[in-house]
Amino acid sequence: MEEQEFRDWLSAYTDYEKAMAAFYAQKRFFRVNTIKASLERFAEISKISAKRSPYYDAAFVLDEPPSFQIGKTWEYFLGLIHPQSLPSILVSLVLDPKPGENVLDVAAAPGSKFSHMAMLMKNSGVLVGNDVKGEKISALYSTINRLNILNCFVTMRDGSDLNWRSRFDRILLDAPCTALGSGESASKRWDPSHSYRISTLQRKMLFSAYDALVEGGELVYSTCTYAKEENEAVVKNLLDNVNGANLLDITLDIPHEHGLSDFGSEFRKCYRIYPQHLESEGFFIAKIRKGDRIAERAKDPAETGTDTGG
């Protein structure tokens, strides 16, 4: 897509000038891996110059020259840190996995969010990391080993056909997307037809992930792109076709814009994070709950004995 076309398209979502200026000047973030070192211990031993993010204690903004390669530091080699954009870190906080739960990451490689979820779970419970290709699984294993993740299993299944039913308390689906929020040249090779095509896969993956949730379980759907066809439209398709699926409020206090109300007022519960909000990449985040059958029956006058009159 030509630059002017992309400018006109993105301007329908947010302030183009602010978004692109922030995109090309975005800061570098990393996350401290508290599985291996507490934040206090890390501050004592690390010589990396960084400032703590005001939005999450374990997230830091790198304060080093552009030439500094965090992947060549001893802190990285020993698994004390993991480079990760701030919105990507926040996705796991939205899902909020707890110690002892059964949790699934549908498209886990290379393992940034997956390893953060293990950390939030304090390396307990069961964390399943799935992906569809062998080379991606290899990258996931590398992250698991470096960061000392112990509560995990790795599977290789098609995310659009997991064939699991009611197994997991929480599920993350960070779906394959057109990456307009993170790919520097993505807008040049993209046109709206790409979003329409990939949304077919995203819809299948979301249905498959939802099926794998237990009743009352929670799912986070996220992408690093802006197109409504890959975001609100995918979630709307699930809500329209599955009884009991509903959007939940996201309670993180971070700068963001709401999801597009064109799809319904409930989509204000979704977060659209553009580069100007967190000086990082762009993201879409939606949190979905699988309705509790008992609660649904309680609402049915025929089963509760409630007389609605007439």
N- to C-terminal Cα separation, the chain: 58
Q: Could you tell me the two tokens for 74?
A: 């001893």
Q: For residue 204, give the amino acid letter.
A: K
**3-state secondary structure at position 173:** strand
pLDDT at residue 51 in the model: 97
**DSSP label at residue 64:** S
Q: What is the pLDDT of residue 296?
A: 40
Instruction: Please check whether the two domains, 3-22+85-296 and 27-84, share a CATH topology.
Output: no
Arithmetic mean of pLDDT, 196-204: 97
Beta strands in the chain (DSSP E): 29-32, 50-52, 59-62, 81-83, 102-105, 126-131, 152-156, 168-174, 213-223, 245-247, 257-258, 271-273, 283-290
Query: In Å, how far are 12, 100, 104, 265 from 157, measured between CA atoms?
Result: 37, 24, 12, 35
Q: What pLDDT score was predicted for residue 307?
A: 36
∠ CA 220-91-49 to the nearest 5 degrees?
A: 170
Domain ranges of the chain: 3-22+85-296, 27-84
pLDDT of residue 299: 42
Helices (H) and strands (E) in the chain, counts: 13, 13
Architecture of domain 3-22+85-296 in this structure: 3-Layer(aba) Sandwich (3.40)
Strands (E), 180-282: 213-223, 245-247, 257-258, 271-273
CATH label, 27-84, candidates 3.40.190.10, 3.30.70.1170, 3.20.10.10, 3.30.70.20: 3.30.70.1170
pLDDT of residue 292: 64
Tokens 């960061």 locate to 147
* The two structure tokens encoding residue 157: 């299944």
pLDDT digits (tens, 9 = 90+) for 227-249: 999 999 999 999 999 999 999 99
Per-residue model confidence as pLDDT tens digits over 287-310: 999 986 434 433 443 433 333 333
Higher-pLDDT residue of 183 and 155 is 155
Q: What are 200's two structure tokens?
A: 């077919």
The mean pLDDT of the chain is 93
Amino acid at 82: H
Report which of 142, 30, 28 is spatially closest to residue 75, judged by C-alpha positions: 30
Eight-state DSSP code of residue 171: E
Q: Which amino acid is at 86?
A: L
Q: What percent of the chain has pLDDT over 70?
A: 94
Q: What pLDDT digit, counting tens, does each position of 253-284 carry?
A: 999 999 999 999 999 999 999 999 999 999 99
Report percent pLDDT > 90 for the chain: 91
Site of tokens 């992408």: 223
Residue 110, preceding bond cis, omega within 30 degrees?
yes
- What's the pLDDT score for residue 101? 98
Residue 224 designated active-site: yes
Give the range among 44-53, 141-150, 172-181, 292-301 with minimum mean pLDDT. Answer: 292-301
Strands 126-131 and 152-156: parallel
CA distances from 85 to 60, 65, 137, 152 (A): 10, 17, 21, 23
Q: Is the pTM value of this prediction over 0.75?
A: yes
Q: Which of 152, 177, 224, 270 is catalytic?
A: 224
In this prediction, residue 59 carries a pLDDT of 98
